[in-house]
Chains A and B, each alone.
Chain A
Amino acid sequence: MNIMLHMPALLIVLPLLAAFVTPLIDKLSRKARNAFVIAIVVIEEIMMLFFAFHIFSGNIAIYTMGSSEPTKLVTEAAVPIRIVLEVDAMSAFMGIISATVAMAAAIYSISFVEESKGKGKFYTLLLIMLAGMIGMEFTGDLFNMFVFLEILSISSCALIAYRNSDGNAVEGAFKYMVVSNIAALLVLFSIALLYSQYDLLNIAALSKVISYTELDKVALVLLVTSFAMKAGSVPMHYWVPDGYSPAPASITAMLVSATQASLYALFRVSFTLYGKVITASYIGVFLIILGLLSMFIGVTMALSQKDIKRLMAYHSVSQTGYMLLGVGIGLYLLNTSDFNTYGIKAMEGGIFHIINNAMYKGLLFLTAGAIFYRLKTRNLNEMGGLAHSMKYTTLFFIIGALAIAGIPPFNGFASKLLIYEAAYRVSPILSIVAMIVSILTLASFVKVFHSAFMGAKIYEVEEAPKSMLIGMAILAAVIIILSIFPGLVVDKIVAPAAHALANWQVYAGGV
């Protein structure tokens, strides 16, 4: 049995099964449960890396669920039946992000989350969340995508409200639940619209026959708006600060990659599902405008915040804007002659920014969590002088802050530069706004650094516990690797992902 063939299913099944075994092991001993969860996330990460490099070398993996020969489609029918998983370079790219952030978050949670509140269930939900993200990224079936979307949103809402003695946590969870539920129902409705016309649910098979009727346009608009809602772009960004700030810090880091899974779904729908017909560039312009608004409004709201995690949450709205801008430019230029010159570069920038953002945003939330763990406050005005006592946390914060502000040589600079260059060719205004936002980002992180870490020693606190430092160190190490070899990363990982999105025929040819 070649294990590589079964990888797409194994990568989803492993965290899903482990999630339901975790409470049983929790009954035996807490240490055994911690060891079990860590083992699962580390194995998941290793498997994901092996599988992803198999995919990046130019393969597309197909897996038909429940078939005796899963790598082949069931051939009796003219259309693909059963649930088909399809993994191309873009899916594998997103899978690496989810698995890495989940590994860091799970290790971080060992000492961060209080034992008294049913931590076995915390880990259960964390693993279900990981399964939901990877499922959304790997599936080749629209309805299956809806199911994983709901699995992801239910588990993440429950985790936002994990500290339910805090009223704000429950409020944030309620808001996120309402937003994600409406988004999921709109997705289901647009699936119904597509199914009523083509009798198909498979994305690849649909993309071959789609003809851009009026109903298809309605479905496209519903899909794009609902995934943009879930990704926290501007008109529907209000759940992001409320949901991110009261959640445990490790969950906030996971939520960042969960919003990026929605972003992946948005790109998959607009590039692959509608790749054949999307010549009118309205959706591209729409994404560019959403991106600009998210960038600008996010960062200006962040400047005035006093709560450290709320401030970072507004920054993640603003960073989502960069990805929407980069990939939106690609969509705007798709099927034109300019696409191959600078459209694809903009997409590479946007996609590179996805992995960068997941890593540095995750790292920053984890450092904020470490500060909260020691000081029991998130208010910036009550902090100060932490650099004296929390040396490693300070170092990790500096790495994250420089990366998010786009200071060379950090990875944020590499992806932002790609976006600036391509955006300038479309319209100079776009890259001017992007640069101003980058400067404002730096300004607000200088503020955080100054008020939290600089100054005289006020608090007698210790460094964060070891497991939290290891969690942060994993993400910091990934940031440094991405910073030292940006060219290599773009060539080997990002460019295949961008090309996988840009050429819908390759994805459609897989089925």
Chain B
Amino acid sequence: MIYNIPFITTAILAVIGLYAVIFKRNLIKIAIGITILESAVNLSLIAIGYRKGGVAPIYTNLPPNVDIPHGMVLPVPQALTLTSIVIGVATLALILAFAMKIYKHYGSLDSHSRRLKE
């Protein structure tokens, strides 16, 4: 049970993120929703790569008596997560820039106040 907690957290975060994207009207809150969804995906990747009692997979700096490779956590999902975080920063910056531009044009961030809902 205790090892399922990361996956349960992933599910909860994903639901919160999707809820914010679908039902919230403020554009900044939509951006926040996307970020939460992204955290959920990143957390699930890290949780997949974890092994009970595993150490960091750095061959040159291993503690003694570590079983290679089963005593180490998987490095690939961590690499994927790093890439995904970098991409996430870029997309978040772009979304917030769009939100700022929309605010300059219409003086509001409410998605229902204009023809945005069309």
Interfacial residues, chain B to chain A (CB-CB below 8 A): 14, 18, 21, 27, 30, 34, 37-38, 41, 44-45, 48, 74, 76-77, 80, 83-84, 87, 90-91, 94-95, 98-99, 101-102, 105-106, 114, 116, 118
Contacts and interface: CB of A to CB of B under 8 A. Distances in A.
Interface stretch (A184-192, A317-325, A486-494): A184-192
Q: Which of B45, B74, B84, B99 has most chain A Cβ within 10 Å?
A: B84
Contact of A185 (B30, B41, B118): B41
A134 interface: no
A157 to B, nearest CB: 6
9 contacts: A164-B101, A170-B98, A174-B98, A178-B95, A185-B37, A188-B84, A189-B14, A192-B45, A195-B80
Contacts of B101: 161, 164, 170
A158 interface: yes
Q: How large is the interface on A (under 10, 10 to 19, 20 to 34, 35 or more residues)?
A: 20 to 34
Given A167-B105, A170-B101, A188 B41 contact: yes
Nearest to A160: B98
Given A185-B38, A189-B44, A192-B45, A167 B94 contact: no
Given A154-B94, A195-B48, A182 B21 contact: yes
A174 B84 CA distance: 20
A173 interface: yes
A150 B91 CA distance: 8
A171 B116 contact: yes
A201 B44 CA distance: 16
Contact of A174 (B18, B41, B74, B102): B102
Given A171-B102, A174-B102, 18 more contacts: A150-B87, A157-B98, A164-B101, A167-B105, A171-B114, A171-B116, A174-B98, A177-B94, A177-B95, A181-B34, A181-B95, A182-B34, A185-B37, A188-B41, A189-B14, A191-B80, A192-B80, A242-B118
Interface in A146-166: 147, 150, 153-154, 157-158, 161, 164
A36 interface: no
Interface of A: 143, 147, 150, 153-154, 157-158, 161, 164, 167, 170-171, 173-175, 177-178, 181-182, 184-185, 188-189, 191-192, 195-196, 199, 201, 242
A270 to B, nearest CB: 22
Contacts of A201: 76
Given A154-B91, A167-B106, A181-B34, A161 B48 contact: no
B76 A195 contact: yes
